[in-house]
Copies of this chain bind each other. A is one copy, B any other.
Amino acid sequence: MNSFVLKGDVVFCPTNKRIIAIEDAYIVVRGGICELVYGKLPDDAKDLPLHDYTGKLVMPGMVDLHIHAPQYAYRGLGADMELLDWLEHYAFKEEAKYADLDYADKAYAIFADALHSSATTRAVVFGTIHRKSTKLLMDKLEESGIVSYVGKVNMDRNSPDSLTESTEDSCRRTERFITETSDKYRNTYPIITPRFVPSCTDELLEKLGWLSEQYDVPVQSHLSENPGEIEWARGLCPDSRFYGEVYDRAGLFGNNANTVMAHCVWSGDEEIALMKERGVYIAHCPASNMNVSSGIAPIRRYLSEELRVGLGSDIAGGQSTSIFTAMVEAMQVSRLYWRHIDNTKKPLNFTEVFHMATKGGGQFFGKAGSFERGYEFDAIVIDDSTLPHPQELTLLQRAERAVWLGGDKTGLIAKYVRGTKII
């Protein structure tokens, strides 16, 4: 089981400087693990079942490092406000509904179905503060077949009553959430999820840091997204030199466990240095950064300084679950950054964003996002004949085109997660 050979036109990025494209390649998968990509079928793999996708594009599955499940319902609505107003008028109102398990059931079914049928194979997901509905979300994501980290959100200040817990309740429920879900699923794991500094007291953050260490659970949050938010955080934590230091003091900045911080649009030198030192993952969410007027993140700098960068859809700051779309937007905004902000920062190229969308984010999960030896086999297969053209194209051009033109509906005809075919 989970041992087979997959044949197709294979494209993947082992580094962000190198994209490999091999036509009619054979990927040998044993026990769900990638052995290697071969140009010719090796003798010792001839007895394995052949999954024949000759002429189709085969890429690693897409990794979404930042997505809010309860916001999926209103993606494409209300992108007429800046972050803080937007949270108050849209996000918090919608998230409050998830106290109702019936509503959560209906909404999360739509969400899980959307992720299942997308090109995404792995995701790092925000739920709401509600323990039960977040567990329901985990049930549905497990059924969807993708691999995910899912967080019960923590909020104990500066939030509407309907979304505010006491510090003690927030910690107690989070601990219970962790113990209940840590070993419950095959592909779904808990993650500690302080919403962001303005909505979490120092005491809460400290206890979450302790839980992360105690249970060895990774962490996700938001960082330096928007000038208004950063100023607010500064006022709330006058003792910290920069935003990320607040998380760091609490042990929530890669000190105890894998950590992903969304956005990092306005991170300064010290914050960047500390992210590098701690190995913090940055979830770059270009659509969201445009839609709620946050700005353009300095991704070229992060790549130059060898920080860890992946992509996030940031539903519903972003409107689309498609990581293909996020790749395109990452390239686009990097061109505007070069033109309008700093012309020493070269725009991102296709190889770089492809790497961010696959192995760059995939490393948060371990060996995922590539077809190298020992990697868990996550793959998508795309029939790009739905995109007619009059001229000859190379395989790399076909891959570029599938990404640029694919969007949410990619001609996706098969999807594998950890060696299991789920579409």
Q: Which residues of A contact B (CB under 8 A)?
A: 73-77, 79-80, 94, 97, 103, 106-107, 110, 287, 290-296, 319-320, 328, 331-333, 335-336, 338-341, 347, 349-350, 388-391, 393, 397, 400-401, 403-405, 407-409
Contact = CB atoms under 8 A, between A and B. Distances in A.
A405 B349 contact: no
B76 A400 contact: yes
B335 A336 contact: no
26 contacts: A73-B389, A73-B390, A75-B401, A76-B401, A76-B404, A76-B405, A77-B393, A77-B397, A79-B331, A80-B347, A80-B350, A107-B390, A110-B388, A110-B390, A290-B333, A291-B332, A292-B335, A293-B335, A293-B336, A295-B339, A296-B336, A319-B328, A320-B407, A333-B336, A336-B336, A407-B408
Nearest to A341: B340
Contacts of A76: 400-401, 403-405
A340 B340 contact: yes
Contacts of A97: 391
A298 to B, nearest CB: 12
A388 B389 CA distance: 32
B291 A335 contact: yes
Contact of A73 (B296, B391, B407): B391
Contacts of A407: 320, 407-409
Instruction: Determine how many copies of this chain the complex contains.
Output: 2
A156 B409 CA distance: 42
Contacts of A319: 328, 404-405
Contacts of A332: 287, 290-291
Contacts of A404: 75-77, 79, 319
Nearest to A408: B407
B388 A336 contact: no
A94 B391 CA distance: 9
A407 B408 CA distance: 9
A18 to B, nearest CB: 16
Contacts of A388: 110
A397 B75 CA distance: 11
Of A292, A391, A408, most B-chain CB atoms within 10 Å:
A391
Contacts of A403: 76
A405 B75 contact: yes
A305 to B, nearest CB: 22
Nearest to A81: B347
Contacts of A331: 79, 291
